[in-house]
Structure 1
Amino acid sequence: MNRRHALRHIALISGGLALIPSCDFSKEDILAAYQKLKVTASQKALLGAISDTIIPAGEIKGALDLDVADFILVMVNDCFTKENQEKFTAGLSAFPDYVNQTLGKKYEALSVKEKEQLILDAAKLEGDDTEEGKRKAAIAYFVNSTKRFTIQGYMASEYIQTEIIPYSLIPGEYNGAVLISDLQKPRING
């Protein structure tokens, strides 16, 4: 190996070593599936926990079991304007701090009743022109949008449409002489 190649390699290696301290590996990766949103995996998990508080599992599957958080993020990514996307992500980012300031715990550590009351209170927050007021308005917008899309995504899921309330694109035949006690599951016609 000649001296020029060795010097070039030493210069490249030392330049690379100089850049390593400026690399920040502590940040969480942003999910690539949502091009217009900057959402991390922990924020998606929080969104899933909030949707599970809105529609919990019981005799039938809950919102978390049906991955409604993915539906919410796809709807926000595809259907919201840029301004509304920014307000939604600002509310999503500010929500953990709001929970900590309000109840002094993380959202996951709260009881079911505390979670329900927190969601109800956060949906009623009102903002003003101050920085704190804008944060409250973003949190309220985030919670209300999450509630709306949780219900929409849950009711439109394959599980609900096929097993709980069967969907029929074409209405069945009309039979006016059926007793109410003989009726089966209700059918939703498109």
Structure 2
Amino acid sequence: MNRREILKSVGLIVGGTVIGADAFLLNGCTFSEKQEGLLTINQIKLLEEIAEVILPHTEKSPGAKDAKVGPFIDRIVTDLYTSQEQLVFLESLAKYEEMDFDSIKLNEKEAILLKEESNVEENPVYIYSNEETGESFESRPGYVMIKQLAIWAYLSSEIVAKNNFNFLPIPGKYTGCVEVTSETKPMYMKPWSWAALRKV
């Protein structure tokens, strides 16, 4: 007897309260390609692949994947982006999906993102145009959105705060003069503002 049948049997014993409870007890038996947010699980994984090239794992620092930046980005794009920003973001992400970005070699990924950087320098404003609807508007380039959100998510993560910064969730006494060496970590400051991110 499998797990699902066992749970249904238990439900009969306790008065049928478990029968049909897929949304609760039997949820682990199903798999969804959709998160609660705008992006699919595969898109979130793709975002982390892109972010890992921007913020790679090193011996001393965790990478974007270690910080699990994908779900954070999904939540921000879902809850805080306008419908127009979401269109540009998804259009940009679709380009990476088409080129199968997560499967290509690291040096090829780096070359693609370096090209994106140079394109942004030449064209800091992106013009979105939909031929079917006739909709047109100005926006930040999709790559800029991805990069800014990746950095924000990375710096907001607990693993980065604890490993890369002098993380003091409850500050102690104020010390005006502290000796600084090459091993001294910067103080962790949170939250980051949108204004600061737009300068990245």
TM-score normalised over the length of structure 1: 0.63
1:34-88 C-alpha deviation (Å, 9 max, x unpaired): 1xx2x32222221111111111111121001111011111111111011111221
Structure 1 segments of 4 or more deviating over 6 A?
A: 129-132
5+ unaligned residues in a row in structure 1: which ranges? 1-28, 100-105
Q: Is the 8 A contact 2:33 2:42 kept in 1?
A: no
Cα distance 1:130–1:72, how it changes in 2: closer, same or farther (>3 A)?
closer
What is the distance in 2 between the residues matched to 1:109 and 1:156? 28
Query: What residue is the counterpart of 2:22 in the other structure?
Result: none
1:99-148 C-alpha deviation (Å, 9 max, x unpaired): 3xxxxxx323432222112012234265667779xxxx99x832211110
Percentage identity across aligned positions?
23
Residues 91-106 of structure 1 aligned to structure 2 (within 5 Å): 91-97=92-98, 99=99, 106=100
Query: Number of paired residues?
Result: 147
2:112 aligned with 1:118, yes or no? Answer: yes
Query: What residue is the counterpart of 1:31 in the other structure?
Result: 34
Cα distance 1:188–1:171, how it changes in 2: closer, same or farther (>3 A)?
farther
CA RMSD of aligned residues (A): 3.3
Structure 2 SS opposite 1:154 = helix
Larger helix proportion, structure 1 or 2? Answer: 1
Give, as a single letter, the amino acid of the residue that structure 2 aligns with 1:78.
Answer: D
2:179 aligned with 1:185, yes or no? Answer: no
Residues 139-178 of structure 1 aligned to structure 2 (within 5 Å): 141-168=141-168, 170=171, 172-176=173-177, 178=178
Q: Is the 8 A contact 1:171 1:189 kept in 2?
A: no
Larger radius of gyration: 1
5+ unaligned residues in a row in structure 2: which ranges? 1-31, 132-136, 191-200
What is the distance in 2 between the residues matched to 1:153 and 1:129? 26
Cα distance 1:89–1:30, how it changes in 2: closer, same or farther (>3 A)?
farther
Query: What residue is the counterpart of 1:89 in the other structure?
Result: 90
1:131-181 C-alpha deviation (Å, 9 max, x unpaired): 79xxxx99x8322111101111111111122232023364642243x5445
